Amino acid sequence: MKRIILLFAGIFAITALQAQWSNDPNNNTFIANCATGAGEVLVSTDPVSGDTYVQWLYGADNGWSPWVQRLNDEGVPQWPADGIHITTPNFATWSPGYALAAVEDGVVSMFRTADAHHWVVKINNDGSLPWGEHGIVLFNGEGGGRSEMIAGDDGGVWALGTDMDSTFLQYINANGTLRNYVTINDPSKKCSNGVLIPTYNGVFVVYSKHTIQGYTTYNKAIYVAGYNKDGEQIFPETLLFGQQSVGASYIHYAISDGNGGGYVFQWHNNIGGAYNTYVTHFNANGAPTILDLNGVAVHSTDPSHFYTNAYATVDPASHDLIIAFRQTDSDTQTQDMVLMNRITPDGEKFWEDGLPVTADVGDYSDILTEAFEYGEGYAVIYTDGQNTVNAAGYDMYGGPLWNTTMSTTRYTKSISLNSTGFLRGQNIVAWVNTQNGGVYGQNIGWDGTMGEVTPPTPPVPCYPPTNLQGEYIYTNEMFGATISWDAPEITPIHYNLYREDYKEVIEIDPEYTSYFEALEPGDYVYKLTAVYDDCESNYALTESGDDYLLITVTAVPENVDEEIVTVTKIYTLNGQMIRNANLEALSPGVYLIHGLTSTGKLIIKKIVIQ
């Protein structure tokens, strides 16, 4: 498929009404109280309601346990002042892995408890717990390591857990019932560190197979496989990254490409002796499109620097990866700068060794990257050595748009592990003041503003043509092909008919919805798009769902001496189909008549109307 951008009140009363999102970087939006040393912050926004859920952890009577607060899209807390505390399970005194996913009518929190079980608790928007106060145990009690979770398409969630040897996958329906769970393992290796990527009819699991060498390194390879909600494997296990020796603390990351497939990236020091970040990609069938099993490096090998701590987003129009990463001095471990690069599904790098986002950011920087929702650009959010939070906006070609300091306060921040993505024009980040307690957050608009954000105007829908059809036709004088289609809801500037793998592009006036051309014998592949002021549509689909036509021209003449008794279609010589198949209504000219003979044979004849 193709789409190219051408241009650039509930059960709880709120105990104290909070202000909307702050527009003052010296005084960010207060979300809730918490203890000093809290952290592990996650955020998730419901795209339907616009509500954002913020989860953070700190030690309580039941261990290192989660609190959750719900904010409306203006940044006003909707639950009690300090959020809802998940109190009944017993948690460990350390961070064993948590996840969070907004669903249609609330949010689901996933975690590992002290007894090494994975659980999910759902909190409805009115603060109730429809799956019970304790929640639901997953994977029949197996698991015990990291947690991963994404929302499904029907109010349910996909949940993934790991232990030291296996990865476990299970779908939880919206009503809390469980589907079959899947165990991914390998008797000869450990299978862990899974990441979930949604696809059209299920989910992809990206996981590692590894053996531990000593205590601190893995021999590790990365695979992908696809499953449906009933636990059936729908795409085979496929190798994405070949085996590398990596540090045990370096896991891999994955992100949906918005087109049914995904990008996977990791950093290690097994190529060239210096840490670097490597990217690969797989399509909607789970097949790699970057064939080098080392992947594509975001920066050339540089023994004097490390290129790690990457965070990525995807251009919703081109489906290219935008990845930001930090450059660190390999000797002193001090950070030099934040860089970014753009990589296509085929592995092409737009910006060689990357474009600079900022320099002199101190010893360490948290990095978050999010594309604007309509594909006009993206933002890179980063912290510096003073714990200020900054954001830089760019168009999709890396051109700077704006630069905003989101927080100038210099206390130590435990910033959220993710941001919400740009929905309704704003992206949301949260953090904990680990010195004095308190959860804070800040929005940033697509135009670099904070506080009240005016959502961008949605682009005109880029509708494709529909009902693509085509056939080989013949007359006693010529052989060729006719292609026809139904016009989209909005009239385009013109249609692009691609022939022979894009070697030829035929531009067709929007008043026509068919095309004829005389051809030599052979096989011809056609694809069709509609072109508008600011975009080119996806390819038109045939009735069977294909985005192309294959027409074979044989040049074998038929018996054209028979008479047409039933007219089926009428075309002008330039390929325009006449909707009214009535010969008597035709204007003077030359036409190609498709019709059936008395024996049922389809033939085509050329006629002249005087």
pLDDT in tens, 344-362: 999 999 999 999 998 877 6
Q: What is the largest CA-CA distance in the chain?
A: 95
Element (H, E) at 336: strand 335-343
Instruction: Write the CB contacts of 327 (distance below 8 Å, at least 6 apart in sequence).
Output: 299, 305, 306, 307, 335, 336, 337, 338, 339
**Quick count: other Cβ atoms within 10 Å of Cβ 259?**
19
pLDDT number for residue 581? 66
Structure token digits, residue 353: 């060794």
CA proximity to 305, closest of 269, 343, 351, 251: 269
Structural domains of the chain, ranges and CATH numbers in brackets:
466-609 (2.60.40.10)
pTM for the full model?
Answer: 0.78
Instruction: Output the 3-class SS for 168-188.
Output: EEEEECCCCCECCCEEECECC
Indicate the range of 117-126, 138-147, 520-529 predicted with least confidence.
520-529
pLDDT number for residue 6? 37
- Percent of the chain exceeding pLDDT 70 equals 91
**Span 198-227, pLDDT tens digits:** 998 899 999 999 988 776 788 999 999 999
Q: Is the pLDDT of residue 452 over 90?
A: yes
Give 583's DSSP letter. Answer: G
pLDDT number for residue 11? 31
Instruction: Write the CB contacts of 555 (distance below 8 Å, at least 6 apart in sequence).
Output: 474, 479, 520, 521
Instruction: Output the 3-class SS for 398-451.
Output: CCEEEEEEEECCCCCEEECCCCCCCECCEEEEEEEECCCCCEEEEEEECCCCCC
**Span 229-281, pLDDT tens digits:** 999 999 999 999 999 988 766 689 999 999 899 999 999 998 988 899 999 99
> Which pLDDT band holds residue 315 (cuts at 50, 70, 90)?
very high
SS3 539: coil
> Which pLDDT band holds residue 564 (cuts at 50, 70, 90)?
confident
**Span 149-175, pLDDT tens digits:** 999 999 999 999 998 889 999 999 999
Handedness of CA 265, 267, 271, 276 (dihedral sign): positive
Structure token digits, residue 280: 């690969």
Q: Is the pLDDT of residue 4 over 50?
A: no
- The mean pLDDT of 54-62, rounded to a whole number, is 92
Give how far Cα 20 sits from Cα of 27, 54, 78, 454, Å: 12, 16, 12, 14
Handedness of CA 430, 431, 436, 438 (dihedral sign): positive
- The mean pLDDT of 340-345, rounded to a whole number, is 97
Structure token digits, residue 374: 């309509």
Give the angle subtended at the CA of 254 by the CAs of 252 and 255, to the nearest 5°: 160
> Which pLDDT band holds residue 300 (cuts at 50, 70, 90)?
very high
SS3 284: coil
Structure token digits, residue 264: 């996977």
Q: Is the pLDDT of residue 10 over 50?
A: no
Structure token digits, residue 153: 């398409």
Using an 8 Å Cβ cutoff, are 53 and 69 in contact?
Answer: yes
**Span 177-198, pLDDT tens digits:** 999 999 999 988 998 889 999 9
SS3 139: helix
Indicate the range of 8-12, 213-217, 559-563 predicted with least confidence.
8-12
Exposure string of 179-213, with b = 16+ CB inside 10 Å and e = fewer, is bebbebbeeebbbbbbbbbbbeebbbbbbbbbeee
CA–CA separation, 386 vs 459, rounded Å?
Answer: 39
Quote the mean pLDDT of the chain.
Answer: 88
> Which pLDDT band holds residue 560 (cuts at 50, 70, 90)?
low
pLDDT number for residue 3? 40
Using an 8 Å Cβ cutoff, are 204 and 223 in contact?
Answer: no
CA–CA separation, 270 vs 279, rounded Å?
Answer: 15
> Which pLDDT band holds residue 15 (cuts at 50, 70, 90)?
very low
In DSSP notation, 345-401 reads TT--BSSTT-EEEEE---S---EEEEE-TTSSEEEEEEE-TT--EEEEEEETTS-EE
Structure token digits, residue 51: 């509500």
CA proximity to 171, closest of 161, 185, 186, 163: 161
Terminal-to-terminal C-alpha distance of the chain = 45
- The mean pLDDT of 314-327, rounded to a whole number, is 94
CA proximity to 203, closest of 177, 174, 173, 233: 233
Beta-bridge mates of residue 602? 596
Phi-psi region of 584 (alpha: psi -120 to 50; beta: other; left: phi over 0): alpha
pLDDT number for residue 574? 61
Beta-bridge mates of residue 314? 321
Give 91's Cβ-side CA count (13 Å radius): 26
